[in-house]
Each structure stands twice: as C-alpha cells, then as structure tokens.
C-alpha cells in the first residue's frame, strides 16, 4: 500500500459458521459447514477518492463494507484508516476518535431511520453522541445547516421519515452521516432502492458534497452505470475475492477478467456500437461449497484444467490464468 493511502484493507477475510445445531449434526451424521463470505480482499483508497466494489449479489461486497466500518469483525486481516488500525490492537481512545470520522449510508433509507423520531432528532443524534456542539440552539442551527446542505429545508426537521419520499429519506440519511463531521463514508447500494431519476439526483449530491467537503467514499454497487459516474477506481468482486482492480476509465474501455467483460456485456448498449456481446450465463455458485481453483471457472468460456485446479493470483490488477498465460487478449471494449 502507498504511504498516501487514507484507507488500507489488507488480506481481509470473513468466515461464517452456518452449521446445523450440534444435536442435529449428531443425529443426522452431518459435519460443520463454513461459508467464506470474504476471502483475502485487499485494496487502498486515497483521501478524497471514490473507490467502488462491484459484483453480483452474493459476491461479498456488503460484508466487506461492514467490516471496514467496524460493524462486523473480520476473521483475519486488517483495516487501517488514517494510520489507525480498526482492530483491538489499536488504543481504545484512538479507535473511538476514529469512529466519529467514519459513517455509513445504507441501501434502504426508511429502514435506517427511526420512524418514531423527528428528522431534527435523527440528524442531531451524532452531534449529541460525540459531544460536538453544546447548547440546543446551536445544535438546531447545525441541523438546519445540514438539511440545507442536502437540498432540504430546515423546517423539514419537524417532520417524520414517513412524510418523505425515498429520495428525500436518503438525503436525510446523508445529512445524518455528515453530522459527525465524517471524512470517510461507506455507501452500501445507496441508490438501488430509488427511481432512476432520483438516483441521478442523489449521486450528483454525493459528488457535490465530496468536492465541497473533501469526503472519501467506499461505494458498493451492482450497477455499473452508477459506478461509472461515481468511482475513480473500481474493484470487481466474485464469490468473496477481487478478480480485477483498475481505474474506472481503463476498466470500462479495456476490461480484462472474463467476469468483468460479462458484467459489461449486460449493460444496455445505448450507443448501438454493434460490438459482439456474450450474454450473462449461470449464477454465483453456492459459497458453502465453492468450485475449486478459480471460482469463476464453471461460467468461464476460457477455463482449462489449471483454472479448475489452481486459484489465480491477483497480478497486474487481474486474477485470471487465461490472461496471465496469454490465452486471452485484452482488446478495447469499444
């Protein structure tokens, strides 16, 4: 990782025990079962940058997001933010100060907002929890300022979440994330529950806030069109691993991994370029019993015996034996 990295994720792994209860295993003769949700993920994010993780449902993106913000402890690996480790090895006081600077925006804005609280209470909660401002009048002024930041009126603070549309609720969630003076925000599918026109408004708002406040984003999405608009660098995940990592422009113009190409081929060709497309086939395998070797090999038209037997390392930004061996060329995507 570079010295300038604001966020460093090193060999992150998360294994879940999904076994049946002990008595069931004894009576039925079953064994313990484990699910590798994340298997050796590493990346870094520079300050002020947007790094995106993309992939189909079940690829492990949201699990990575929850480990990065500390909602879920990793089985192994480490997350370092601004030089401070999120693990228990770091001093407690340091980690507490760091947590104020980290916030998360969730997929469902209504589920993430307390329906019994007025909006001004919701937005003011981080301010009170971290003791950032003294005095109710000053807190109310800051809440009004935050609501204005996200395109709402300060008077909206007296309303309840159910009185707003989905896009407006997500604006409230963004205002709450900014209330603690956050510097790093993890966005877990923040627009997937919204209409397309509203998605564009929220994405533009997030980019404006990033430019104004110098925010750093980890952006989780399955929508490549959204990622293209938001991210400067992109990591493509498949079944718990990053299979390709690249800057946004290069990934869309010269995709390397067959899975990345498959995802791009699924995006509607509004320009009608006439480029030959390979339709998306198959589904992500059962993560409890994943395929051996490269886990993408059952769906890959370029797989050979080595792909079935050996896990490809991430070399040159891509984890693919066909690329490493020169069997698969890298052509412009047009």
- Share the mean pLDDT of the chain: 89
**212 vs 284 pLDDT, higher one:** 212
Look at domain 5-101+183-255 and name its CATH class: alpha beta
Using the CB atoms, write b or e for 56-90: b if 16+ within 10 Å: bebbbbbbbbbbbbbebebbebbbbbbebbbeeee
pLDDT of 4 > 60? The answer is yes
* pTM over 0.85, yes/no: yes
Name the nearest CA neighbour of 223 among 49, 67, 52. 52
Give the tens place of pLDDT for each residue, 283-296. 788 888 899 999 99
Tell me the per-residue pLDDT of 215-231, one tens digit each, with 9 for 90 and over: 999 999 988 888 988 99
pLDDT of residue 90: 57
Give tens-digit pLDDT for 230-270. 999 999 999 999 999 999 989 998 999 999 998 888 776 55
Q: Considering the chain, what percentage of its residues have pLDDT values greater than 70? A: 92
> Residue 144: CB partners within 8 Å, gap ≥ 6?
154, 157
**142 burial via Cβ count (<10 Å: 0-12, 13-18, 19+):** middle
The arithmetic mean of pLDDT across residues 40-64, rounded, is: 94
pLDDT given for residue 272 in this prediction = 47
Tell me which residue of 9, 6, 43, 50 sits closest to 233, measured CA to CA: 50
> Read out DSSP for 120-167?
HHHHHHHHHHTT---SHHHHHHHHHHHHHHTT--GGGGGS-GGGS-HH
Specify whether the CB–CB gap between 291 and 298 falls below 8 A.
yes
The angle, 0 to 180 degrees and rounded to 10, between the axes of the packed helices 119-129 and 136-149 is 120
How large is the average pLDDT for residues 167-196?
A: 92
User: What is the pLDDT, as a whole number, of residue 280?
Assistant: 58
């Amino acid at each position: 990782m570079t010295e300038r990295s604001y966020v460093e994720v090193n060999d992150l792994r998360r294994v879940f025990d999904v076994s049946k209860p002990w008595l069931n295993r004894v009576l039925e003769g079953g064994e313990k079962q484990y699910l590798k949700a994340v298997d050796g993920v590493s990346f870094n994010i520079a300050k002020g940058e947007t790094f995106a993780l993309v992939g189909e449902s079940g690829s492990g993106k949201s699990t990575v997001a929850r480990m990065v913000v500390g909602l879920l402890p990793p089985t192994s690996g480490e997350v370092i933010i601004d030089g401070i480790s999120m693990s228990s090895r770091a001093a407690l006081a340091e980690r507490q100060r760091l947590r104020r600077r980290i916030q998360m925006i969730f997929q469902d804005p209504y589920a993430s907002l307390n329906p019994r609280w007025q909006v001004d209470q919701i937005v003011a909660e981080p301010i009170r929890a971290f003791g950032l401002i003294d005095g109710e009048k000053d807190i109310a002024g800051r809440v009004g300022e935050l609501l204005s930041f996200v395109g709402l009126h300060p008077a909206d603070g007296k309303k309840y979440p159910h009185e707003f549309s989905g896009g407006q609720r997500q604006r409230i969630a963004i205002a709450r994330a900014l209330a603690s003076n956050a510097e790093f925000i993890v966005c877990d599918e923040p627009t997937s529950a919204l209409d397309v026109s509203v998605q564009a408004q929220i994405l533009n708002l997030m980019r404006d806030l990033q430019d104004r406040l110098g925010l750093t984003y980890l952006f989780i999405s399955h929508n490549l069109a959204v990622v293209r608009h938001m991210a400067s660098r992109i990591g493509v995940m498949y079944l718990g691993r990053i299979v390709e990592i690249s800057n946004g422009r290069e990934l869309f113009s010269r995709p390397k991994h067959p899975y990345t190409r498959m995802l791009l081929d699924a995006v509607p060709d509004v320009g009608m370029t006439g480029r030959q497309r390979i339709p998306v086939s198959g589904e992500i395998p059962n993560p409890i019993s994943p395929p051996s070797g490269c886990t993408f090999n059952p769906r890959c038209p370029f797989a050979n015996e080595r792909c079935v037997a050996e896990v490809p390392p991430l070399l040159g930004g891509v984890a693919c034996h066909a690329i490493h061996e020169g069997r698969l060329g890298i052509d412009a995507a047009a």
